[in-house]
Every structure is written in structure tokens, then in C-alpha cells.
Structure 1
């Protein structure tokens, strides 16, 4: 099992304070905590007298290991999600992301803690296979998140959110969480949905432009003092920052780059591929190079949408793969998939065509190259369908099912 380092800071904090966390008097009395078992994301209410408004919940999570040097795995200092509180009760969500566990529930108050008891929580590890999700109704003051069956095309609503339009949804594989950008009161803010624990987090990052995936994390581009900066999207437990910023050339504004998630490519050095809406019916490829490489802008392309995507290319040893980029060039008459050369900043000849306007696209790539697909939401607004392109052959297939009112799609696990 991969040990996720994001809990280490909290664990070290808990260990450093352990000597003074023991108290002769309890914060709360007459504690009643149901033992469970609970599923990740279930609401758990602990009753007691003496709760205060700034009380926090932390977890110490332990699970048995078989065939390992250690008898048990653990995650210490995991912050709980509190959903309701009164002077005599506090409600939190059972934690997710771990094997079936015994969870000690700790009440934290201004640097001290009290154990409230233990609960049993069932297996909440992320799934191994991807699922397809769509956003419905975004822009009407609320949005629904639906799961789209990847074989039948049928949909099932799994969550609702009140707020602004949801854009640029991405998933860091293995987190089973979505990061997206919500347009609220004229500002673009970052929000998260935990697919395991089934809850939306409060907006954290502000000034968001677009989001995307790096090799080891999800990230978001934000505006900062006239610069475009790459920051941690908060999908992992790691608190490490990403220290990359770019100053945009004259004539290129952050608001031009909000149409689709960015794409990471590795061929020719690490780069981010974006698309700029020039506002005159044309779009331009935009490349952000890492390690101080600057910003490059390609020539205008007449289209209704320009959507970056990633695909795999065999390396020089014929055994490994590297990520290269391409763009979906879409308009009312149909869509083309075209490779993109980051050295010349030019689009190549189309290798696949679809007689539908593609509005959103996300690649599904396996490390060994066995799977190389582009999943696309195509068709008129509010009446779309899911099309899947096999990238090596350029052939398309349509997912069965009726019309989809989705405005966004994302693959997640």
C-alpha cells in the first residue's frame, strides 16, 4: 500500500503535543458515541455535554495488515469533517480513503484533546477502475453530478450543489475526488467533491483560471499580481506547493484561458497546453514551459472550440511512453483531432474526424499503452452524447443511451 505523506504534518503535530494533551478533566462529559459500523461519508453524531463552537474532530485510523512486516497500518492526525454542532452534540463524517478500520475519534480544543471513543468504518479505498461523471444544470444556480455508465450510457444522480456554474472538472487518479472551478458572483473559486465520502468542501482557492493534472498531483492555475501561477489543487493530503509562475505576454489575458482544463505533456520537456479564446471566432494554442521556459502562443485557429488533450508516444527505446499533446478543433460542422508540435507551435494534419461538435474531452491512458482513448461530450448544448475515440486508429464509437444534458464530463477513480 502506498503511504500518503499528507497526514505526516498533522501526525507530527499530534505527537509533539502528546505530552500536554492529557488532561485531568474532560472537555465534555456523558459521552455517547455509536460504534457503527459506518460507511465512509456516513454522518456520525456524538452526544455529550459541554461542546464549544470551535471544537474540532481528529481521527487516528488503524487497520490490520496481512503478510507485511508491520501488524497494522495507520493514519494519524486526520482532520474530520464536521457537518453540525450544538452544545450537546456534534456530527461528523466517517472518514474515507482507507481499508476497513478502527477509528479513534478525538475532540480537539485549542491544542488539547479528549478521546470520545472508537468507531468501525468499512473499506473506503478508491476504486481501481475509472468511472465517468457529468455535470448537469450548471449555470442555473445549482448543478447535479451524475455517474454515466461507461457501457450503457445510463445516468444516475449522485450529488447536488447550490452555487455558480461548474467548469474544468479534473480528478487525480487514486484520490476518488474531483476538483472543479465554480463561477460565483463574478469570481472563479476552487471547489472539491469527495466521491467516497460524498460531500462538497467549501471554496478554498480564489482567482482560479483553469485546472488540470500533473504527473503526481492535480493543480490549478490562478492569477497572482499579473502572473499566472500553478498551485496545488488540494486533491491529495500533501501540503507541498508548486512554485511555477508565468507572466503572460501582451494581449493574452487570464480570462481567455478558462474554456477547458490544461494538459501536461513531457515530450521535449515538461509543458502545459492550454487554449486561448481570442474573442473573434478564433482560438490560439498556448504553451507554458516549466523551469523558466516562458509562454508561447501559436497562430489563430478558426473554430467554435479548441480543446487540448494528451496521448502517448513510444520513446526511443520502444518500451516506454511519453506524453505528447494534441487539440480537438471543433465547430458546428464537426470536429478534428490534430497533433500539436510544441517546438514549432503548429497543428499537424487531422488523424480523426467526428461529424459532431465536441464540447468537452478527456483522455483515458494506461501506462503500458494498452488503452489510449479520448472520451468526448459532443453534440448540441443540452442534447449531447458520449463518443469514444481509439487514438491509435482514429476510430470513433458512440456510447448507447439517450441525449445527455451535461455541460462537463470527467473520468475519475
Structure 2
């Protein structure tokens, strides 16, 4: 019983991540200021700098273990809460010696006054202050296509008629797939690599760089709290890891809060770690009691549907298909069963048993390569189709409006995409 409670708590942990993080942030507020840096000064004192710029802390007595901490204060324009504040923000250090530290100003915060402190063994010394220009994540959703052939992520801003204007192009990690967006992160998280040693990579659109967040990854899932959990596995034994992905300052969360001891799960008999990860998993149920739906590719057109809940993995059903894609739209969650030359069947799943019911929607437009939804548009699915004559085509499926398909029009110069999703 205690083990089940621990596993249940882990599966819904991300739901309370925001509250935990908010409490933890208070612990970083300077409680005791001392002087351990002599002649301390900020080279950019009083100036205005942009996110990503380097700043220089000068003086004598810096140590390699010193941390640079920021406190942001800004006007919100809200009469009820006129001032926003974020403290306890660790800077990325670029260079440290006894005479100074070079650090980078972070992205994802509004234009603000910034106080710069050094923290050593829990004690703080203020070095100086400056201003930072706006670096917030965009609020509007944009379309992103994963072009593995061209090794790039292409971004598009859509107008009211779903016509796209290219806004971004970033190099891809190798074999990047199973892509998820954490809302307001301005980046994409996915799995890179093949075989037994796959990694979770986060591509940051602000910096254009990819960062490895986890290894031995078999699948990624989005939780009810809009955090990404990596299911990691080695030798058939798996654990869950919430990935530390930063989001916009107005969300004020980061999913790297302390976790309890991770329980372990054993894969179902006959399924190997490399069977998973073709598509992201989705949650089913409520934040208080959720499970995850996964699909496993056994090869040669053979798939299995798999449920992960507080009791562990459970293989539910074997099925022959070209692909089995977990989906979530509106109040429904289940699998899209696609066939090479036939229709795609949208089959909802029983939240308790994991069993699929009969199809509630059949799509005959073409074979579906990817199907994604976004928390900002939960009643819509972005479908990426493969057509033998026209390449790939992308449609918006309005789940609650008679399953209406609306085409997305992109520039003729773009290539075919393995995956497409709406993100910000």
C-alpha cells in the first residue's frame, strides 16, 4: 500500500510543482548580507542590457564555488498586483577567477530592474544593479515542423486564415522525434538518437542550442500540469524524471523541484526499451489520478498499446497497423490507429482499463504521421499527413465542431515534415 501511494504521488507530482517552486524561491531571498568580495562592483552598473548579454562582476576574492543570483522587479500594469518580483534566479556563469565572474543574463523575463548578488554558503553580497530589456516567451501559438531530412526545425506564424509566414529556422539534434512543447518555454523537447541509448533534448529557440536533459530515455509524456516527464529505462527497469525546462516569468515555474525517491517499474514481458518513443505519451484521467498511454512498436507492422499507472506498466492490446499514435483532444484520449493505404481510426480509451473502444472518428485524408494538441487549444489536433502524390500536408482538426478539418497553408519552399505541432 505504501509503495502504491508513493508511485501515485510521483505520477501527479508535476501538478504541484508550481506551488513547491514558489515556496522554494523564497528560500533564496537574501536573508543575511556580508562582505566577502573586496572592492565589489558591477561593470554594467546602471546600464540597460539584453537577455543573453554577458555581465561582469569585478572585485577581489571570488571563488569557483560562488553562485551569481538575480532578483528581477518589474511593473505589471495590473492595479491589483502592480509589481512583479522573481528572486533566487541562478545565473549561468561563463568564467570565474579570483578577480571576477562573467555571467549571462537570462531569457524569459519581462523588462525589469535586476539586482545582482553573489551567494556563498547561503550568505549574500550585493554586487550591483542594472536594467534588462524584454525577453519573454511569445504568448501566441506558432506552428513548428520537424524536418529530419533538412536537419532543421522550421517555425511559422499563422494568420487568421491559417496561412503561415516563416519566422524561425534552427538546426536539429540527430534523429530528433517524439516532440513536445512545454507552454511558454519557447523551445521544443524531444528524443534524439536511436537504439538503446537515446537522450531527451531541449532545443531553446532563444539561444538556438540544444541541451541534453536525460539519458537512456524510452519515452516522453506530458503531465496534467504541463510538465514533461521522461521515462528512462535500462535493462528493462524504468523510472520517471521530470525535466527542468524553464518557462515564461508570468508562469514562474521550473520543473526541477526536489523529488521523493523514484520508484522503479519493469517493462511488460516481450517489450524492450527500444520499442518505445516513436510518439509522445499522453495522460488520461484527472490530475489527482492520472495514467499515461504509450504505444510500443514491435516491428513489422506489429504494435502494442501500453498503460502506465501507479501499479506500473501494463500491455493492454496487440494490434497490426502502420502506426499507433496516442492522442488527446477535448475530453477524449486514446489512440489513432493508422494503416498504410487505408483510413486512420480515432479510438478512445477507457481510463481505468486502458482498453480501446470503437472508432469515434475516421479520417481518410491520408496516413497520419503525427497528431499533437496544445493546452492553449485543447479542442484542436494538428494532424500531419503523408500523401503519396502531394507529400506531407498539415491540417487543423476541430474536435468539438463536427471534426472539421482545415488546411494549413505554408510557403512552397518548405520541405516535408516528419512531425508538426503548435507551440509557444
- Summarize the Cα distance change of 1:278–1:99 in structure 2 as closer, same or farther, 3 Å threshold: same
Matched residue, 1:311: 329
Select the residue among 374, 379, 386 that pairs with 1:379: 386
**SS of the counterpart of 1:406?**
coil
Gapped regions of structure 1 (runs ≥ 5): 314-323
After superposition, what is the alpha-carbon deviation per residue over 1:314-362, rounded to whole angstroms, capped at 9, x for unaligned?
xxxxxxxxxx323222243254132233337234235131332221110
Paired with 1:165 and 1:386, the residues of 2 have a C-alpha distance of 21
With structure 2 as the length reference, what TM-score do the two structures score? Answer: 0.78
Select the residue among 27, 35, 39 that pairs with 1:23: 35
1:168, CA displacement in angstroms? Answer: 1.9
- Summarize the Cα distance change of 1:202–1:94 in structure 2 as closer, same or farther, 3 Å threshold: same
After superposition, what is the alpha-carbon deviation per residue over 1:73-132, rounded to whole angstroms, capped at 9, x for unaligned?
321111112356678775543223333211112234565554332222233444433222
Select the residue among 340, 363, 377 that pairs with 2:348: 340
8 Å CA contact 1:357–1:379 kept in 2: the answer is yes
After superposition, what is the alpha-carbon deviation per residue over 1:224-282, rounded to whole angstroms, capped at 9, x for unaligned?
56333222122242404385643222101221111000011117952211111111212
Task: Name the structure, 1 or 2, with higher relative contact order (CA <8 Å, separation 6+).
Answer: 2
8 Å CA contact 2:233–2:239 kept in 1: the answer is yes
1:309, CA displacement in angstroms? Answer: 0.3
**SS of the counterpart of 2:274?**
helix
Which stretch shows the higher mean deviation, 88-97 or 99-108? 88-97
Paired residues for 1:26-41 under 5 Å? 26=38, 31-33=42-44, 35-39=46-50, 41=51
- Summarize the Cα distance change of 1:166–1:108 in structure 2 as closer, same or farther, 3 Å threshold: farther
Matched residue, 1:320: none
- Summarize the Cα distance change of 1:7–1:404 in structure 2 as closer, same or farther, 3 Å threshold: farther
Select the residue among 255, 275, 280 that pairs with 1:256: 275
Gapped regions of structure 2 (runs ≥ 5): 1-16, 246-252
Matched residue, 2:5: none
- Summarize the Cα distance change of 1:10–1:358 in structure 2 as closer, same or farther, 3 Å threshold: same
After superposition, what is the alpha-carbon deviation per residue over 1:135-174, rounded to whole angstroms, capped at 9, x for unaligned?
3347x8xx4332123322343334335x432222212224
- Summarize the Cα distance change of 1:78–1:5 in structure 2 as closer, same or farther, 3 Å threshold: farther
Matched residue, 1:213: 222
Paired with 1:233 and 1:115, the residues of 2 have a C-alpha distance of 31
Structure 1 vs Structure 2 CA RMSD: 3.5
Paired with 2:36 and 2:66, the residues of 1 have a C-alpha distance of 18
8 Å CA contact 1:365–1:373 kept in 2: the answer is no
8 Å CA contact 1:179–1:233 kept in 2: the answer is no
1:210, CA displacement in angstroms? Answer: 1.3
8 Å CA contact 1:246–1:288 kept in 2: the answer is no
Matched residue, 1:390: 398
- Summarize the Cα distance change of 1:293–1:31 in structure 2 as closer, same or farther, 3 Å threshold: closer
Paired residues for 1:266-285 under 5 Å? 266=285, 270-285=290-305
Paired with 2:171 and 2:99, the residues of 1 have a C-alpha distance of 29
After superposition, what is the alpha-carbon deviation per residue over 1:359-385, rounded to whole angstroms, capped at 9, x for unaligned?
111024658xxx622102222699523
- Summarize the Cα distance change of 1:148–1:332 in structure 2 as closer, same or farther, 3 Å threshold: farther
Paired residues for 1:47-58 under 5 Å? 48=58, 54-58=65-69
Select the residue among 15, 24, 31 that pairs with 1:9: 24
Matched residue, 1:317: none
Matched residue, 1:292: 311
Q: How many aligned residue pairs are there?
A: 387
**SS of the counterpart of 1:252?**
coil
- Summarize the Cα distance change of 1:282–1:47 in structure 2 as closer, same or farther, 3 Å threshold: same
1:184, CA displacement in angstroms? Answer: 7.8
Select the residue among 172, 175, 178 that pairs with 1:165: 175
Select the residue among 177, 201, 212 that pairs with 1:203: 212
With structure 1 as the length reference, what TM-score do the two structures score? Answer: 0.79
